[in-house]
Amino acid sequence: MTTLNQRQKEAATMPTYPEYRSLVPPLSASLYKGQGGRVCILGGSSDYTGAPYFSAMSALRLGADLSHVICDEDAATAIKSYSPDLIVHPHIKIRAANAAQDKKTSNDIWAHTFDEINSVLKRIHVLVVGPGLSRDKGMLQSAKHAIEVAREQDMPIVIDADGLFLIQDEPEIIRGYKKAVLTPNLVEFGRLCNAMNVDTEDEEAEQPAVQRLSQALEGVIIIQKGKSDVISDGQKVQVVDSAGGLKRSGGQGDILTGLVATSLAWGLAYEKEVWQHTHPVKKEDVAMTACFGACVINRECSRLAFEKHKRALQSSDVLAEIGPFFHLFYQKPRQKATWAEAIYG
């Protein structure tokens, strides 16, 4: 699979640190609960309960005010037990639907499930789909419904893990929706490219595969995770190549989805002028800037956790680094700091 060649790297652009910083709401007594971001994670099947926790908690650790989880009823108790800070909704009733004695009863259960999902989505700013989702038919059905509703509400959507499996099979769900962000790893990226007929082995291509995949999906933002994180909206390409940790543990990708979600929620508040600012970031650049900053923070927190724990590193260790690092990242550097000064200074 191709990586960015030198010509493509030189053509890549990136936002400045002050631009990302300008999206962050100030800590002010004039703001009320919720204006700092309300995110929702749809995932958490009976087998996978940790992933939605990492996504939802990383959103809170970065600075979101409220974090909801919509999950399978059999996953809810476990997720609730991980933290009282999460608002957990056991609305997806796989077991009850499967045990229904007739089709009408099953349909009534799903209708109620969708109504409950709709009710939660009316209260949030950003939807994350995928952490712990699994490939259960009912979970995927719930995810598809939530994405469709979020699109109707013009809401940013972050899709990862088995949410990408859904997109791979039904790309029309998000095709052309420029407020959608996909966060595939190496394997998931290859599958998406194959589904969209994007040749990842074309060394002569003028544009990197991540940009061509975004174009095939008509402007959906792609964060291609790997040795470097490469981000594209089909027009621009950005590369985050700061050092990360060397230990790969389950949950680190879920942490990124939460960081992206909070950053996108801040972008919405920025656009709505929840606080006064001078508009240093153009509206069309807000989402890419938010994604870039989230990737930087994720990689640095992974690096810091790895320095402390080495091979013993777990995703909970990365989670613990978010608050302390972001405080320095946001408070210490000068307004005109470079990314390097903001990260390491």
Annotated ligand binding at 74? The verdict is no
Annotated ligand binding at 22? The verdict is no
Annotated ligand binding at 33? The verdict is no
Nearest to 131 by CA among 205, 208, 53: 53
Annotated ligand binding at 234? The verdict is no
Q: What 3-state DSSP class applies to 65? A: coil
Annotated ligand binding at 315? The verdict is no
Annotated ligand binding at 258? The verdict is no
Annotated ligand binding at 118? The verdict is no
Annotated ligand binding at 197? The verdict is no
Annotated ligand binding at 154? The verdict is no
Q: Which tokens belong to 183?
A: 């966060």
Annotated ligand binding at 285? The verdict is no
CA distances from 251 to 41, 175, 181, 243, 256 (A): 14, 27, 18, 18, 9
Annotated ligand binding at 188? The verdict is yes
Annotated ligand binding at 302? The verdict is no
User: DSSP string covering 277-320, please?
Assistant: ----S-GGGHHHHHHHHHHHHHHHHHHHHHHHHGGG--HHHHHH
Annotated ligand binding at 198? The verdict is no
Annotated ligand binding at 4? The verdict is no
Annotated ligand binding at 186? The verdict is yes
Annotated ligand binding at 212? The verdict is no
Contact 23, 263 (CB under 8 A): yes
Q: What 3-state DSSP class applies to 237? A: strand
Annotated ligand binding at 185? The verdict is yes
Annotated ligand binding at 187? The verdict is yes
Residue 66 pairs in a beta bridge with: 38
Strand order in the sheet with 221-224: 87-92, 66-72, 38-42, 126-129, 157-159, 180-182, 221-224, 229-232, 237-240
Residues belonging to the binding site are 132, 185-191, 225-229, 244-254
Residues belonging to the binding site for ATP are 225-229, 244-253
Residues belonging to the binding site for (6S)-NADPHX are 132, 185-191, 254
